């Protein structure tokens, strides 16, 4: 620029500068600011005038900044020591270049020098050949035997990797499976029945009177579609009806009301898995017989931390000439022992279809209290005799969600169903 100004006689209009200097417009602006800052030229209106300092600079040796830029342009990059070695005034240049962004870039680099110690030198003296170091062993190295020539770098084996979780069973399903295993081990046959059940099998066959509160619309889900169930054979229906009305041939007073077959045909969502066991008993009432059923049951409960409209039960019956209330307690105790409980309490319970009836409590160490687990009893003659069964029938219906809640420390039953995947991953198989 100052050369161009000198050629033009010491001054030039701003408009003419690009043409006279051969610089693009944006560089002209940059150069103007630089000239003014160094005091080599001054702007008078639209005219740029070369000053004496500018004329002197034309012949003076390159300033520190220009020298540095020239050196870096040649070298690409260089360390400060290297530049100082070329007699460049690095500190001065840095001062001049300060605030002019984009011209040079400085990076700090640390250099560490490692010297071979005496032991290393001694080892080298024995003729150690340096080997290639690798992270990953591969098929090529194994095939060629090349692995012998390389070193596999050691890992820091104390560092944790990302968490992994196996695909696994749901905690409540583990309880179902364990329950099934217990009863299979005890020699029980597994049975099943439908979710939709007739009032007949859910209630009437179990001697539950048709106005029993459990049959209220308040407590039981009635089904609109299908609209009606079929009843079993007429002789059985008739016997059950008479047993309700006046005890029939069972020696009972009965419930003394007019039994309504239409109520027996109304479909419900089964309220207990006893519907499955009573069907099994009707199919084959001969002793000895041991059957069980694990499955969901439906109650019209308001949802809270203890209740859901659907929960699971294990129901079982033992048809055995030698069966008694004492052996019923024995089976209940065997089951809960195998499920991991040690202390039991049996208290009187009251159900329409068993006599005597019992409620099972287990001691819960974490709560320091007895917790009710389920009900059991011996089927009343009003239940068994209409089915042609004359041996004692021991029966029970035990809730399973509670077992899972205690085992996995869950406060609310709903968590078992709307499960957080994180919780499922954490629920260890060993618990």
Identity of the residue, 93 or 264, whose beta carbon is nearer to another protein in the bound complex? 264
The answer to whether residue 189 forms part of the interface with another protein (CB under 8 A) is yes
Identity of the residue, 40 or 200, whose beta carbon is nearer to another protein in the bound complex? 200
The answer to whether residue 197 forms part of the interface with another protein (CB under 8 A) is yes
CB 271 within 8 A of CB 202: yes
- Report the site for another protein in 235-264 (rule: CB under 8 A): 247, 250-254, 256-257
The answer to whether residue 302 forms part of the interface with another protein (CB under 8 A) is yes
Q: To the nearest whole angstrom, how small is the minimum distance from the Cβ of residue 336 to another protein?
A: 11
Q: Which residues of 251-267 are buried (b: 16+ CB within 10 A; e: fewer)?
A: ebebbeeebeeeebbbb
What the block records as the tokens of 230 is 């079929």
Identity of the residue, 68 or 400, whose beta carbon is nearer to another protein in the bound complex? 400
- Please select the residue that binds another protein; options are 54, 285, 323, 374, rule is CB under 8 A: 323
Binding mask 91-130 for another protein (x = CB under 8 A): ----------------------------------------
Identity of the residue, 95 or 286, whose beta carbon is nearer to another protein in the bound complex? 286
Q: Kind and range of the H or E element at 375?
A: strand 369-379
- In terms of Cα–Cα distance, which of 374, 206, 376, 223 is closest to 298? 223
Peptide bond into 226 cis (omega under 30): yes
Concatenating the DSSP letter of every residue in 38-62 gives HTSEEEETTEEEE-HHHHHHHHSPP
Identity of the residue, 305 or 417, whose beta carbon is nearer to another protein in the bound complex? 417
- Report the site for another protein in 262-301 (rule: CB under 8 A): 267, 269, 287-290, 296, 298, 300
Burial class from Cβ neighbours inside 10 Å (0-12, 13-18, 19+) for residue 271 reads buried
- Report the site for another protein in 216-235 (rule: CB under 8 A): 217, 221-230, 232
The answer to whether residue 203 forms part of the interface with another protein (CB under 8 A) is no
Pairing of strands 289-298, 150-152: unpaired
Q: To the nearest whole angstrom, how small is the minimum distance from the Cβ of residue 208 to another protein?
A: 13
The answer to whether residue 322 forms part of the interface with another protein (CB under 8 A) is yes
What length does the chain have? 431
In three-state secondary structure terms, 386 is helix
Q: To the nearest whole angstrom, how small is the minimum distance from the Cβ of residue 269 to another protein?
A: 7
Phi, psi of 44 (to 5 degrees): -120, 100
Pairing of strands 47-50, 11-13: antiparallel
Binding residues for another protein, rule CB under 8 A, total: 101
- Span interacting with another protein, options 51-59, 96-104, 139-147, 352-360, rule CB under 8 A: 352-360
The answer to whether residue 161 forms part of the interface with another protein (CB under 8 A) is no
- Report the site for another protein in 373-412 (rule: CB under 8 A): 378, 380-382, 392, 394
CB 380 within 8 A of CB 205: no
């Amino acid at each position: 620029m100052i050369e161009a100004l000198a050629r033009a006689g010491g001054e030039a209009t701003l408009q003419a500068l690009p043409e006279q200097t051969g610089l693009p417009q944006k560089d002209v602006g940059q150069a103007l600011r630089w000239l003014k800052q160094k005091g080599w030229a001054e702007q008078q209106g639209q005219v740029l005038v070369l000053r004496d300092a500018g004329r002197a600079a034309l012949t003076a040796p390159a300033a520190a900044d220009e020298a540095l830029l020239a050196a870096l342009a040649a070298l690409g990059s260089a360390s400060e020591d290297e530049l100082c070695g070329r007699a460049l005034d690095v500190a001065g240049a840095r001062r001049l270049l300060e605030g002019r962004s984009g011209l040079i870039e400085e990076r700090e680099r640390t250099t560490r020098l490692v010297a071979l110690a005496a032991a290393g030198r001694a080892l080298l003296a024995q003729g150690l050949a340096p080997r290639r170091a690798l992270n990953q062993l591969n098929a090529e190295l194994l095939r060629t035997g090349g692995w012998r020539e390389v070193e596999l770098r050691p890992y820091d084996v104390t560092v944790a990797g990302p968490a992994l979780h196996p695909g696994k069973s749901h905690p409540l399903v583990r309880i179902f499976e364990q329950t099934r295993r217990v009863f299979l081990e005890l020699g029980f046959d597994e049975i099943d029945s439908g979710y939709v059940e007739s009032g007949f099998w859910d209630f009437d066959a179990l001697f539950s009177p048709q106005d029993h509160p459990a049959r209220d619309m308040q407590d039981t889900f009635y089904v609109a579609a299908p609209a009606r169930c079929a009843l079993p054979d007429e002789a059985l229906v008739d016997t059950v009806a008479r047993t309700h009305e006046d005890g029939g041939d069972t020696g009972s007073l009965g419930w003394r009301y007019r039994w309504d077959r239409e109520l027996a045909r109304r479909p419900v969502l089964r309220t207990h898995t006893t519907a499955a066991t009573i069907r099994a008993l009707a199919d084959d009432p001969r002793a000895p017989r041991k059957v069980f059923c694990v499955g969901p049951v439906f109650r019209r409960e308001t949802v809270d931390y203890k209740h859901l409209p659907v929960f699971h039960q294990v129901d079982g019956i033992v048809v055995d000439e030698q069966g008694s209330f004492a052996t019923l307690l024995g089976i209940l105790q065997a089951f809960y022992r195998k499920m991991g409980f040690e202390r039991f309490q049996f208290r009187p319970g009251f159900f329409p279809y068993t006599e005597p009836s019992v409620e099972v409590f287990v001691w819960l160490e974490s709560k320091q209290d007895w917790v009710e687990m389920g009900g059991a009893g011996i089927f009343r003659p009003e239940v068994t005799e209409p089915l042609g069964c004359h041996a004692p029938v021991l029966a029970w219906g035990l809730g399973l969600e509670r077992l899972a809640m205690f085992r996995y420390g869950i406060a609310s039953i709903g968590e078992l169903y709307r499960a957080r995947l994180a919780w499922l991953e954490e629920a260890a198989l060993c618990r």
